[in-house]
Structure 1
Amino acid sequence: MSLECFDQEVFNLTNQELKRQCEGLEMIASENFTLPEVMEVMGSILTNKYAEGYPNKRYYGGCEVVDEIENIAIERCKKLFKCNFANVQPNSGSQANQGVYAALLNPGDKILGMDLSHGGHLTHGAKVSSSGKIYESFFYGVELDGRINYEKVREIAHIVKPKLIVCGASAYARFIDFAKFREIADEVGAYLFADIAHIAGLVVAGEHPDPFPHAHVVSSTTHKTLRGPRGGIIMSNDEEIAKKINSAIFPGIQGGPLMHVIAAKAVGFKFNLSEEWKIYAKQVRSNAQVLAKVLMDRKYKLVSDGTDNHLVLMSFLDRDFSGKDADIALGNSGITVNKNTVPGEIRSPFITSGLRLGTPALTARGFKEKEMEIVANYIADILDDINNVNLQKEIKQKLQVLASNFIIYEKAMF
């Protein structure tokens, strides 16, 4: 029996979401369109199999086939990131980070991460997350120019003397200097942990500096710029750290791994290892640079005055409207983005003075520089007259026509 016949309510909502994704423009920097082949294996028979443990060391029988699948995912991940060890079992980036902390730290140990309001992530020590509750967290940030001041990071590290330093961000538009972070970590005797969830797809394509060999341990999601399934991974070149990571993930914080997702990770990694992937990643950066240039030409302030990666962070500190206002206006026009805090923030995290925009999803649809220039100018048009609802409706119709030339999925994947 088909889903349409069995549960028409969910079937209809799924198709509504398909329509939304096809007709609108997805510009949330952490979202992307995965491959149909990835979705195919995620909906496969593999979802039925429990496989607690690791390949050839399972606590369940009947794991001969899934052992091979997980080994393929591991080997492809190691090849992709040019590392000696990979754990492909984390269910998310947040759980991957939790696993790293559990492997290397004891409750109450000090960690130093990027401030959430400056572009960091909840799991980098934010007080509302477990990383800020279990461990004693301290923070570095960016200057008013939107860039990390590595000398200030060094000063803070020498004062705090953390056991672990986290580098990586969810809203930082510039290259991260992993070598400088390792220098600082070595000076204070800390582990260096690189969370590259946002930039992993650029890293493996050579479009962003590599965290190896500088980081002791690296985590990432497998979606975002990697375009794989929703999930997490952890990598290292240190044999002792590798053993601790495996124990921390299972039995430490997870039970049976999601074998259908691990298989989907393997499929995604195969795409990431292709020459086609390098072309895609290069286009992601090129599109982001076009987006940044047009917005700056239209007199909008960007944090750090541009971008080196897949995203731009707009600042409205000089405007009468907020990030939330901009988010709503663009949403009404068929452009999905997210409000974001900015350096020098004057509003609450629920309102914000900024907006984060990314190019991975539109690039996956086939958008190039010409289309990004069109979209960027529409964004500026909307924000220039932010309360003009009629203009928003008009632009939404125009963008639907544009989007119809770049359909990512012909039908829902059931």
Structure 2
Amino acid sequence: MHFSLIKFLNFLKLDLIKQENSLNLIASENYSSLTSIIYSSSYIVNKYTEGYPLNRYYSGCKFFDFIENKTIFESQTLFNSLFSNVQPHSGAQANSAAIQSLINLKDKILSLDLKSGGHLTHGFSKNFSGKCYNIVNYLLDKNNFLSNKNLELIIKNEKPRLLILGYSSYQGIIDWEYLRKLSLKNNFLILSDISHISGLISSGLIFNPINFSDIVTSTTHKTLRGIKGGIILSNNKKYFKKINSSVFPGQQGGCIPNFISGKFFSFKECNNFNFINYTKQILINSKIMLKTFIFRGYNSILNFTNNHMFLISLKKITNSIYFEKYLEKIGILVNKNFLPNDDSSSINPSGFRIGLSCLTTRKFKNDDVELVANYICDVIEKKINFVKINVRILCKIFPIYK
């Protein structure tokens, strides 16, 4: 038993060492601050907190009520929202509760196809969303843009009850204002999942859809740089009570109190000029890295990016699953990813997704990210003599937590 405990603790230590010695370009990941990690690991984990402030199903929650109310306030301030539920354990549960608040089972949802950049919880056939609702997918146009005209045509033909906006691998922009006008004209609702871009939205770098959506959902750990979890926001008073009841008891029992505490510090840390400067650098880094790939002759679905991520095509170049695993051995983490209209399998899709949040958290700037992009291109082109050593040097120069 003692040996097993030592071995377990050693795995935790080894993973931190791996994080420190890897350049992480996975768009859905980031490094939580030490403050939010500490307070998400606190003794308040001992308390069971079913219900909401001043309306709990267990006694002894008066101090946690204060913590949850402060966390709600910080998230509302950050996103300029009238309502916030900070209890969802994840973005998936936030989306499930949000959809449940807006429509009934078997109602029609219009959402972006998974291969075009949508998300599992937006209507994938094997996910709860695909099993419980009538899903109609829309695609990017032939130039890989989200076309308002195409959407308008599908809406007229399909008459959905709900339109889901916000994506997991799309580097363009969304015209929320236009689509809101369209929703009022055609009597459908809008759910905006801003999980990937919420940090950029909170800094004012990307349009905030809170006033043009019925409900907004997000994770708290991507560009927000917080601990893992979900949140639900809204300025539509019609749905405030529905959201709360859909989260509890609709989706989950008690919230995780130590994670609510961690979310408070995450939101607090986002609400300052340092975080705004950080998110500005994410955008700069993302644009520079994409330009470097294009300069080296590689194709993206678009020749620009408006957020922290972009897709690079490996069609007729290399095997994506081999490429992902080989890069990891060298010390660079990316994730293989579908391209629009991809005819490859999910195990071995035709592209890979790049995100700049983690490198920016490590204080990488313009020339540094250009260097990393060139290292990745060198690996693709099998010019790998000193890449592994150079990656390790960069990791030492830009530590995560030291």
Scaled to the shorter chain, the TM-score interval is over 0.9
Provide the secondary structure at the position in 2 that maps to 1:91: coil
Whichever residue aligns with residue 266 of structure 2, its letter is G
Match of residue 45 from structure 1: 43
2:341 aligned residue: 344
Alignment match of 1:58 (pick from 51, 56, 59): 56
Residue 269, structure 1, aligned to residue 267, structure 2: yes
CA distance in 1 between partners of 2:14 and 2:210 (Å) = 42
Matched-pair contact (CA < 8 Å) for 1:144–1:344? no
User: Deviation digits for residues 301-344 of structure 1, max 9, x if unmatched?
Assistant: 01111211000100123x23232232123222211010001023
User: Which residue number corresponds to residue 24 of structure 2?
Assistant: 26
- 1:201 counterpart residue number: 199
In 2, the alpha carbon distance for the partners of 1:34 and 1:27 equals: 15
Corresponding residue number in structure 1 for 2:235: 237
Q: Secondary structure at the match of 2:177?
A: helix
How far did 1:351 drift? Answer: 0.6
For the 8 Å contact 2:115–2:341, the answer to whether it is kept is: no
User: What is the aligned-residue identity percentage?
Assistant: 37
Answer yes or no: is 1:363 the counterpart of 2:360. Answer: yes
Which residue in the other structure is 1:321 paired with? 318
Deviation digits for residues 39-92 of structure 1 (CA, Å, limit 9, x no counterpart): 101111011110110001111100011000000000000000001000000000
**Residue identity in the other structure for 1:407:** P
One-letter code aligned to 2:190: L
* Residues 156-206 of structure 1, C-alpha deviations (whole Å, 9 max, x = no match): 111111111000000001122211221222232111110000000000101
Q: CA deviation at 1:361?
A: 0.5
Find 2:126's aligned residue among 115, 128, 146.
128
Moved more, 136-145 or 187-196: 136-145
CA RMSD in angstroms, aligned pairs only: 1.5
Of residues 161-170 and 143-152 in structure 1, the stretch that sits farther from structure 2 once superposed is: 143-152
Separation in structure 2 between the aligned mates of residue 316 and residue 31 of structure 1, nearest angstrom: 22
* Deviations, residues 352-383 of structure 1 (Å, cap 9, x unaligned): 11100100001001101111011011111111
Distance 1:143 1:213 in 2: 27
Instruction: Tell me what 1:401 maps to.
Output: 393
> Which region of structure 1 is more displaced relative to structure 2, 145-154 or 118-127?
145-154
- Aligned position for 2:350: 353
Listed one character per residue, the Cα deviations across residues 285-314 of structure 1 (whole Å, up to 9, x for unaligned) are 000001000000000001111211000100
The letter for the 1-side match of 2:400 is: I
Partner of 1:212 in structure 2?
210
Contact (CA 8 Å) 2:87, 2:231: kept in 1 or not?
Answer: yes
Long gaps (5+) in structure 2? none
Please name the residue that 1:188 is paired with. 186
**1:167 equivalent in structure 2:** 165
Equivalent residue, structure 2, for 1:99: 97
Equivalenced residue count is 402
Which residue identity does 1:381 align to in structure 2? D
> Which residue number in structure 1 is paired with residue 373 of structure 2?
376
Write the distance in 2 (CA, Å) between the matches of 1:88 and 1:203: 18
Q: What is the aligned counterpart of 1:247 among 245, 248, 252?
A: 245
Residue in structure 2 matched with residue 76 of structure 1 by the alignment: 74
Q: Which amino acid aligns with 1:30?
A: S
Note the alpha carbon deviations across 1:221-253, whole angstroms, 9 max, x for none: 000110111000000011120110001001111
Hey, what's the Cα distance between the residues in 2 that align with 1:220 and 1:85?
A: 14
TM-score, with normalisation over the residues of structure 2? Answer: 0.97
Distance (whole Å) between structure 1 residues aligned to residue 64 and residue 267 of structure 2: 17
Match of 2:287 in 1: 289
Contact 2:41/2:259 (<8 A) preserved:
no
Q: Mean Cα displacement is larger for which, 147-156 or 192-201?
A: 147-156
Deviation at 1:5, TM superposition (A): 9.1
Residue 6 of structure 1 deviates from its aligned partner by: 8.7
